[in-house]
Structure 1
Amino acid sequence: MPRFKAALFLLQAYLKNQLPTLVGLFLVFIINTALLTIGPLILQTYLVNINRSDSHSLLIYIALLFLGVAAISPLFSLLEVFVAENLSLQITNQLRLDLTLHCLHQDLDFSLKYPPGELIERVDDDVSDLNNFFSRFLVSIVGNAFLIVGIQVILFHIDWRVGTLMLLFSAVSLLAINRLHTLSAPHWKNVLQMRGKLFGFLEERLAGTEDIRACHAEMYTLRGLVERTRLLVRKQRRALQMIFATRSTMVVLFSVSSALALTLSIYLYALRAIDIATVYTIYYFTVLLNSPLEQILEQWRNLQQSTGCITRIVELLEIHSNIKDGERMLQVTGPLALEFRDVSFSYAEGTQALQKISFSLRPGEILGLIGRTGSGKSTITKLLARFHDPQQGVILVNDILLTELNLQSLRAAIVLINQEVQILHATVRENITLFDDTISDERVIQILEKLGLDQWYQGLPKGLDTRLTPGEFGLSAGEAQLLAFARVFLSNPGLVILDEISSRLDPVTEQRLERALDYLLQDRTAIIIAHRLLTLQRVDTVLVLENGTCIEQGLRRQLADDPHSHFAQLLQKGNMEVLQ
C-alpha cells in the first residue's frame, strides 16, 4: 500500500470512533489560532490611535483587551495539548491491542518468520512513534492552513503587493517541504526495519544465553551485534541528514521572506502608501506566517519518521493467516473421537513430514506415538491444533472435518501440553486460570491439592496472589508440568495431547507426574508422545512412525506379545530412550 494511502487508512480507521473529541480539538485549535491573529490587529489599532489627544480612554480599553487576549491564549494552548494527548493515548492503545490480537491470530509460519523481539518493536515502538501523528498531525495541518489563509487575506487587504509576495513565499516553502519529505520517507522506513532486525537479534540471543556460553560463542554474538548496530547508525545518520537539510532550507526561506517583507514595507512607507503602524503589522504577520509554516514543516518531519511506522503497521495488518477459521462450534460433552484419513504434510517442497497417515481413536481411547526425532510425531500434534493444515487427506473430530470447526472452540476442546511450559509474569491464580475471573479460588486450590502441589502452594508468601516469574519460588520442571495440568483441568477438554512431557525429568519427578496423569486422563481421549516405558503403560494403542510414515500400529498388548513387532523389540531393550 502506498505511504499516503497507508496514512489515510490509519487516520480513517482510528479517528472515526473519536469524532466528538476530534471536533472539540479542532474548535480549541481554531480559537487559539484566532487569538494569535487578533493580537497584532489590536496592537495595530493601539499604534494608530496613540497620537490622538482624545484617545486616552480608548487606549486603556485597547491595552486591557490586548492583555486579556494574551492571558487567555496560553490557556487554550494548554487545553489543546491536553485534548490532543488524550486523543493520541486512546487511539494508540487501541492500535496496540488490535496489532497484538492480529499477531496472536496468525499461523505458526508467521511466528517462525517474525521473532518476538521484532514483533515487540513493531507493535510497541512503531505505535509509540505515532503519538504525534494521531494527536496533532491532522489538526495542525488543517489549523495552520487556516491560519496561513487568514494571514494572507489580511496582508492582501493591507496591500496586494505584500500579499502576493507572501503568497509566493508560502507556495515555494510548501513545495520545498513536500519534495524533501518525498526524499526522506524511504530512509526512515529503512531505519525502522533495521531496528526491528536488531531487536529480533537481541531477543533470540538473550533467550539462548546458556547455549551461547556453553558453546563459547560470545565473540560471535558480539560481532553480530556490532554489525547490525553499525548498519542502524549508518541508516539513521542518512535519515537525520535529510531532516537537517529540510530544516536548513526553511531557515533560509524564513530569513529571505522577513528581509523581503521589511524591505517592501519600508518602500511603501517611503511612498506614503502605509503608516508606521502598518509597517509593524506587515512585519509581525510575516514573522507570524513563519510559525504555521514551521509547524507544518515539523509535522512533515514527524510524518517522515511516522511514514515508515505507518507502512510497517499496515503491512503487518495486511498479513493474513493461511488457516481459515471454520463456523461450526465443537461442543465438548465428553471424550472426543478422532480420525486421520490418508493425511500427508510437508513443511517445504520435496520434504515430506507425514505420508498417508491413517488412524482412528474412539472416545476415551489413549494412543501412544513413538518414533525417532524427526519421524513426524510433533507434526501430528500441530495438525490437530491447526497450526498447519494437511496438503492431502482429512482429519475428523467427532465426525466433523477439522477445517469446518471454529478455531477457538477447537483449541478449547483439544489441549496440547509439551515439555516447555510457559510461566507467565503474573500471579499464581492468573497462571492457572489464564485470566478467567469466573473460576473460584476454591476450585483452583482443590486442583492444586489433587495434583500434589499443595506443599508448594502453602509455601508461597501471598498464596494465589503471589506473582510468578520463571525460576522463582522453587518451581521445578516437574512442578511446571503439574501447573500445566491444572490449566487443563480447568479448561476441561475432550482430547489431551502430551508431547514428550517427561523427557527431561528425573525418575522420581516422573513418578510424581505419572500419578497426576492418572487424574488427567480420566474420561478423556489422549495422544501421548513419550520416550520412556512408564508413560506408555497406560496407552490402549500404539503407532510407530519412521520418516513420516506409519510402520506399525495396533493394540499395545497385541504388539507387545508379538516378538516380531517393532514395539516388542523396543520393550525387550528395556529403554525407550533409544528413540531419541
Structure 2
Amino acid sequence: MAAPSPTLTVLRTYLGPLKGAVATLAALLIVGTGLNLLLPQLLSRFVDSAKLGAGADVGLLVRLAVSYILLAVGVQLLSAAATYLGAQVGWQATNRLRADLMAHLLSLDMQEHKERTPGEMIERIDGDVTALSNFFSQFAVRVFGAALLLTGAVVMFWRTDWRVGAGVTVFVALTLWAMNRVRKGGVEPTQHEREASARLFGYVEERLAGLDDVRSLGAGPYHLRGFLAVQRDFFHKSVLSWRRRARVWQLSMALFAVGYVALLASAVGLYAAGLITLGTAFALYQYMTMVEEPIDQLTNQLQDLQKAGASLVRIGELLSLQTALPEGKRELPPGPLDLRFEGVGFSYGGAEAAPVLQDIGFHVPAGQTLGLLGRTGSGKTTLTRLISRLYDPTTGAVRLGGVDTRDVTLASLRSRVAVVTQDVQLFQASVRDNLSFFDDRVTDGQVEAALAEVGLSEWLSRLPEGVRTPLPAGSLSAGQAQLLAFARVMLQDPAVIILDEPSSRLDPATEAQLTAAMTRLLAGRTAIVIAHRLDTVARADRILVLGAGKMLEEGARADLARDPRSEYAQLLRAGREAEAVLA
C-alpha cells in the first residue's frame, strides 16, 4: 500500500482534532454555494419577465429583485463567516505545528544543532510554517468551496442544455489537468527559494552575533560583500520561483479567454435557434463566471500549494531528524547524587573519529566538589557535557546516583543537573522571567530569596519595579550576569552543579562576591568546577587534571597539594612563581 502524501498527513494530523469546527465550516460552504447557484435562476426569470415590456408583472419583478439582493447579501455573509472560521481553524493548526517543531528541535542532540545555524533553525520554524499558514487557514475554505461551486455550476449547465453541459465539462477537465501539470513545475524552485532564505537568515544571524569582532577588526566591507552575495542568490531563486508559479494563472487566463468565446457563441446560436430564452442565455454566462471563479481560486491555491509543498518537504526533513540520545525510562533517585565515570571514551564523529576523551574513570561522592583542570582543548567542557547528556559517551558509562545517565529520562536528568557557563544568556524580559525561565509557578518571593542568597539584594532594591523590572540585554556586568545565573540554579535546586570557569573575567572585588555566592550555592551539592585559575578550586574536595583527553591525575585536593610530584602541586608552584614575577 502506498504511503499517504505529506499534504494529507499534515491535514489529518493538525486539522483532525478540529473536526467540529471543520464540519461547521463545511456546512457554511455548502449552504453558501447552494444560495449562489440560485442567483442566476432569479436573474433568468427577471430578464425573461422584463422582456415582456408593458405586459410585465411589476410585482413579480420587484419580488425577484428583492430576493436576488437578499440572497446575494446572504451569500456574502456566509462567505465572510466561512473565511473567519477558516482562519481560526488554520491558525490553531499552524500554531500547533510550530509548537511541535520547536519541541522536536529541543529534543535533538547537540550534534544536529552544531550542523545548522540558529538563523536557519528560525527560518525553518517560522518561515516554513508561515508559508503554510495560508495553506491551513484558507486552503480548506477556498478549495472545498471552489470544488462545490464548480460542481454545482457544471450541473446547472447540464440541466440547461446537455450539449453545453458536455462542452463545459470537457473544458473544465482539460483546464484542471493542464493547470495541475504546470503546477508541479513550481514545487522544486520554491523549495530552493526557501533554502536560500534559510541561508540568508543564517548569514545575518551569525554576523549580528559577532558584530563587535566584525567592527573592531574592520571586516565590515568583507561581510557586506558576503551578505550581498547571499542576498543575490535568494533574489534570483525567488524570481525564478515566482515565474514558475506564475505559469499557472497565465495558462488559466489563456484557457478562459477561449472558453468565454466558445460559450457566448453557443448561447447566441441556441437563442437564435429558439432553444433557450434570453434569460437562460444570461444565466449561462453567469454560470460560466461561476466556473471561472472557483478555477481562479484553485489557481491561486495551487500557487500556495506549491509554496506549501516545498515547506512540507523541508518540515518533513526536519521532523525526520532523529536524536542520537534515546529517551531513558528511569528517574534519578531523590536526595544527593554521587557521580561516577567508568572507562569513558568519547569522540564527536563516533567511534571511528579521533577521540576527545580516553578511558576516563573517577568518582565524586555525593555533596563533594571536583575541581577540573587542564589546558585548553584537554576535554574539560566535553566531559561536563556528558554529565548533562548533551552527548552520550562513545564507550563506558556515566552514572549519577548509581544510574547510567542513558537510562534516565531527559526531563529527570535536566531537572537535577544544572550548568552555569561562562557566557550567561540573558533575555529581554523581566528579572523574574530571566531567573524562572518564564515559569509562572515560581513566585516573586522565591525569586527575591534566590537573589538575596547570591548577594544581589542591594542591586534588587535599586530596581524601580523589583523583580518585575525589565532587564535590557547588555545592561549587566559579567559578574552580575554570573550571579543571576547562580540565582537561576538556586531556584532549580539541583543535586549536581557544573560551573564552567565562573570567575574568568572578573575584577578582585566582584570575584570575592562571586566566591561567597558560589560557596553557598555548592553547599550540600555534588559539583564540578572547571577552572584555569587555581584560586577557583581552592575549596574543592577533589582535583582531576586532564591532558589531551586523558586523565593525568585525580585525587583529594589536600593530598595532591602535599605531593610535590603531582600535576596539581606543579600547577600551584607555577602559579606562585608567576605571581612573584608580576609582583
Q: Which residue of 1 aligns with 2:456?
A: 453
Distance 2:3 2:153 in 1: 31
Q: List 4+ stretches of structure 1 deviating above 4 A.
A: 575-578
Q: Which residue of 2 aligns with 1:508?
A: 509
Q: Which residue of 2 aligns with 1:489?
A: 490
Q: Does the CA contact (< 8 Å) of 1:344 and 1:352 recur in 2?
A: yes
The CA deviation at 1:435 is: 2.6
Distance 2:425 2:51 in 1: 82
Match of 2:206 among 204, 222, 236: 204
Letter in 1 for 2:489: V
Provide, for residues 396-427 of structure 1, a one-character-per-residue CA deviation record: whole Å limited to 9, x for no partner.
11111111111111111111111111112221
The CA deviation at 1:54 is: 6.6
The CA deviation at 1:3 is: 12
Distance 1:108 1:351 in 2: 18
Match of 1:403 among 406, 411, 420: 406
**Which deviates more, 392-401 or 50-59?**
50-59
Letter in 2 for 1:565: S
Distance 1:306 1:575 in 2: 65
Match of 1:374 among 368, 373, 377: 377
Distance 1:11 1:577 in 2: 68
Distance 1:390 1:337 in 2: 18
Please give the residue correspondences for 1:110-189 in structure 2 after superposition, counting only pairs within 5 Å: 110-189=112-191
Match of 2:325 among 319, 323, 326: 323
Distance 2:453 2:150 in 1: 74
Q: Does the CA contact (< 8 Å) of 2:453 and 2:487 recur in 1?
A: no
Provide, for residues 131-164 of structure 1, a one-character-per-residue CA deviation record: whole Å limited to 9, x for no partner.
2211221332222222112111111121122111
The CA deviation at 1:467 is: 1.2
Match of 1:100 among 99, 102, 106: 102
SS at match of 1:45: helix
Q: Does the CA contact (< 8 Å) of 1:346 and 1:352 recur in 2?
A: yes
Letter in 2 for 1:374: G
What count of residue pairs does the alignment treat as equivalent? 574
Match of 1:359 among 353, 357, 362: 362
**Which deviates more, 409-418 or 68-77?**
68-77
TM-score (norm 1): 0.96
Q: Tell whether 2:552 aligns with 1:572.
A: no
Q: Which residue of 1 aligns with 2:386?
A: 383
Provide, for residues 450-509 of structure 1, a one-character-per-residue CA deviation record: whole Å limited to 9, x for no partner.
31111211111211111113212xx21111111111111111111111111111222222
TM-score (norm 2): 0.95
Q: Which residue of 2 aligns with 1:478?
A: 479
Distance 1:277 1:447, change over 3 A: closer
Q: Which residue of 1 aligns with 2:416?
A: 413
**Which deviates more, 116-125 or 372-381?**
116-125
Alignment gaps of 5+ in structure 2: none
SS at match of 1:461: coil
Letter in 2 for 1:470: A
Letter in 2 for 1:505: L
The CA deviation at 1:237 is: 0.9
**Which deviates more, 481-490 or 134-143?**
134-143
Distance 2:78 2:3 in 1: 33
Alignment gaps of 5+ in structure 1: none
RMSD: 1.8
Distance 2:508 2:432 in 1: 29
Q: Which residue of 2 aligns with 1:29?
A: 29
Q: Does the CA contact (< 8 Å) of 2:50 and 2:56 recur in 1?
A: no
Distance 1:431 1:136 in 2: 38
SS at match of 2:397: strand
The CA deviation at 1:4 is: 7.7
Distance 1:70 1:142 in 2: 20
Please give the residue correspondences for 1:253-264 in structure 2 after superposition, counting only pairs within 5 Å: 253-264=255-266
The CA deviation at 1:243 is: 2.4
Distance 1:353 1:575, change over 3 A: farther
Give the percent of matched residue pairs that are identical in Structure 1 and Structure 2.
38
Distance 2:402 2:37 in 1: 75
Provide, for residues 253-298 of structure 1, a one-character-per-residue CA deviation record: whole Å limited to 9, x for no partner.
1111000000111112222222222221112211221111111111
Distance 1:485 1:575 in 2: 30
**Which deviates more, 78-87 or 382-391?**
78-87
